[in-house]
Amino acid sequence: MPLPDSFLQELVNRNPIEDVASSYVRTKQRGRTSVGLCPFHGEKTPSFTLYPETNSFYCFGCGAGGDVITFIKKIENLSYIDAVRFLSDRVGIKMPDDKTDDTVSKLRMRILEANRDAARFFNQTLYSPEGRVGLEYYYSRGYTDQTIRRFGLGYAPDSYYTLVNEMHKLGYKDEELVAAFLTYRSKKSPDKVYDIFRNRVIIPIINVHGNVIAFGGRVLDDSKPKYLNTSDTLVYKKTNGLFALNFAKSSKDNSLILCEGYMDVIALHQAGFTNAVAALGTSFTEEHARLAARYANEAILVFDSDAAGQKGTRRAIALLRQTGMHIRIVNIPGGKDPDDFIKLYGADRFKLLLDRSSNDIEYQLIELARLHPLDTADGRVSYLREASILLSRLSSPIERDVYAGRLSAELSVSKDAILEQVERYKKSDIRKYKKMELSQAVRSSEDMVKKINPQAGSNIRASHAEEGLLGLLILHPDYITAVSERLPPDTMITDFNRKLYEYLLKRHEQGLIIELVFLSAEYDADEMAYISRMVQKAREGIHSPEQAVEYVNVIHNEHKLLGLNDPEQLSDDKIKEMLDAMRAQKK
């Protein structure tokens, strides 16, 4: 059975979209809406829009959209029922006793429970005779028992069955352990499961809600792979998380130190830098950048100085720039990583490195100077061209002016000439970016329609009218009575729109509320995005009974042209009756 409308109505009223989204996105008021950079795709121009009146969101860049429940589903990677629980817990509402199919939700909960118990087992093993080798490894890195407890560090024995047997004792089934990526099935013996993590020190991955969602395992010797990480599961997606963010989010610095690996992060936390985080078993991604921007205004990059580290630094700069974060880069002398540097010179010296770190523009100018010989005319020209392109991407005119002045003084070139070149590149870049954004938005919209309503492509006029009408009906449910009397569901041309129309009619007949939130239980995130697109288009268009009648007429005509069962056409008298009925209902 679906959740009661009364409960969902209270849930939505207590969880305004602008309050919920503010934990993930920085938005600015724009009239009756709020806008910000979309948390679901990378962009420079804010296209993510919140609509308090309908408690919904829509992104004009990637097409994501829906109600507040859909928002939590997408951003927290949850099922519908888990998203509802998330919002219920957020405001202290008791979930009703429901009989919805929560198989996935239950498995998700069992994975979290299994991870918690596995983490406890690994930690207990670490302090047993069997785990002494792992404990000595941690001690050799300078970790204290307090740090080991804080991060829940552990050790996985060199055995195929130790964890399996322990988890079986606790009542876990093989399919639950496989789903949690704690065990695997052998192709030769599919009826048996074996421990995945063996003879490795174990680092639990804990999300911002305090749940153990995954593990990283490091070998104690030079064998490969050096690290073994949990694959994506129902509770974990490696591109969506930052290690130690559960601690770093509480830092008062309003900054995050971005490192390359777990061990550097743990060392920095032990040294007092509790705002250190790292990507989880993958290179830095757009999702990581957007996640970092939710919790801090500044990112301090402390990557290795080797070629891979420098490549990672450049990539991170490009991604973080899109979020609007201030960026600084720390160069550690001697090519050492943070862990080694702190061991040799102490936390105070590392703090000096942070304080003296350059911002991302200074860092990139230094890198450009290394690539171009400044003692030759050609080298200086090449350098200034690349530097001008770099400065053209700065949003602040003050920043552009300051750096142009610095380049002018260093290379004895007119500041005005540099700024003129910068402006030329800036205009070109703006044109390219706007064209790219528009192309991306159109492509995203088209891809979504093809996926959800594949018949729309061969029935363009009919599908546009259907979408326009359905959007109007969701915004103005009082139109439904008059429309339904003149437009039977089987007049709709495309299957998805027909079924949505039937669902709206059914809810209307039952006297139930018609809003986006009451649709999200029936439709997945992509379908909700398509429906939100309909509502958004209707919101921007004409809100009138006349517009609804026009859509109905188009659908009737298209139905006739396709040679389908010819529905009764709308005469002038019937159009007038329909308009009068809608206007009367509106009063």
Query: Which strand (E) or helix (H) includes residue 201?
Result: strand 200-206
Residue 257: φ, ψ to 5°: -90, 115
- CATH number of the domain to which 302 belongs: 3.40.1360.10
User: Is the confidence at residue 473, as pLDDT, over 90?
Assistant: yes
Where a domain ends, among 91, 124, 142?
91
Where a domain ends, among 321, 337, 363?
363
169, part of any domain:
yes
Average pLDDT over residues 422-429: 82
**Residue 570 binned pLDDT confidence (cut-offs 50, 70, 90):** low
d(CA 175, CA 425): 57
Domain carrying residue 146:
104-236
510, part of any domain:
yes
Strands 255-259 and 276-279: parallel
pLDDT of 287 reads 87
d(CA 287, CA 238): 10
432, part of any domain:
no
Residue 100: φ, ψ to 5°: -70, 155
Average pLDDT of the residues of the chain:
87
Do both 350 and 247 map to the same domain?
yes
Report the sign of the C-alpha dihedral through residues 146, 152, 153, 155, in that order.
Answer: positive
How many domains does one find in the chain? 4
Do both 128 and 230 map to the same domain?
yes
Nearest to 215 by CA among 162, 154, 173: 154
Please write the tens of the pLDDT for every residue from 246-278. 999 888 788 999 998 899 999 999 999 999 999
Do both 269 and 334 map to the same domain?
yes
**Residue 434 binned pLDDT confidence (cut-offs 50, 70, 90):** low
Do both 117 and 79 map to the same domain?
no
Do both 49 and 108 map to the same domain?
no
d(CA 408, CA 395): 20
Do both 513 and 575 map to the same domain?
yes
Q: Tell me the residue length of the chain.
A: 587
pLDDT of 375 reads 83
In sequence order, which residues have a C-beta less than 8 Å from that of residue 503 and are 6 or more positions away? 519, 522
Tokens of 581: 């009925």
Where a domain ends, among 33, 64, 91?
91
- Going from the C-alpha of 460 to that of each of 121, 442, 449, 456, the distances in angstroms are 59, 15, 11, 6
Higher pLDDT: 587 or 291? It is 291
Report the sign of the C-alpha dihedral through residues 400, 401, 407, 411, in that order.
Answer: positive
Tokens of 318: 């490009």
Do both 80 and 128 map to the same domain?
no
User: Is the confidence at residue 58, as pLDDT, over 60?
Assistant: yes
- Going from the C-alpha of 379 to that of each of 369, 400, 421, the distances in angstroms are 9, 22, 17
User: Is the confidence at residue 189, as pLDDT, over 60?
Assistant: yes
Query: Which strand (E) or helix (H) includes residue 418?
Result: helix 415-452
Which residue type does 525 have?
A
Please write the tens of the pLDDT for every residue from 360-413. 888 888 888 888 888 888 888 888 888 888 888 887 888 889 888 988 888 888
- CATH number of the domain to which 554 belongs: 1.10.860.10
Query: Which strand (E) or helix (H) includes residue 175?
Result: helix 174-179
Do both 461 and 578 map to the same domain?
yes
Angle (nearest 5°) at CA 522 between 472 and 489: 50
d(CA 35, CA 262): 35
d(CA 229, CA 209): 20
DSSP code for 231: P
User: Is the confidence at residue 579, as pLDDT, over 80?
Assistant: no
Helices (H), 77-131: 80-91, 103-126
Which residue type does 75 have?
I
User: Is the confidence at residue 441, as pLDDT, over 60?
Assistant: no
**Residue 359 binned pLDDT confidence (cut-offs 50, 70, 90):** confident
Token pair 């024995």 is at which residue?
A: 157
User: Is the confidence at residue 428, as pLDDT, over 70?
Assistant: yes
pLDDT of 101 reads 57
Do both 546 and 505 map to the same domain?
yes
Please write the tens of the pLDDT for every residue from 310-350. 888 888 998 898 887 889 999 888 777 888 889 999 999 99
How far out from the chain centre does Cα 308 lie?
A: 25
22, part of any domain:
yes
**Residue 445 binned pLDDT confidence (cut-offs 50, 70, 90):** low
Do both 40 and 76 map to the same domain?
yes
Residue 357: φ, ψ to 5°: -65, 150
421, part of any domain:
no
User: Is the confidence at residue 433, as pLDDT, over 80?
Assistant: no
pLDDT of 485 reads 87
377, part of any domain:
no
Residue 378 region by backbone torsions, left for phi larger than 0, else alpha for psi between -120 and 50, else beta: alpha
Listed range (152-156, 405-409, 501-505) with the worst mean pLDDT: 405-409
DSSP code for 507: H
Do both 262 and 220 map to the same domain?
no
Do both 132 and 187 map to the same domain?
yes
d(CA 364, CA 348): 26
pLDDT of 583 reads 66
What DSSP line would sit under 459-487, residue for residue? -HHHHHHHHHHHHHHHH-GGGHHHHHHH-
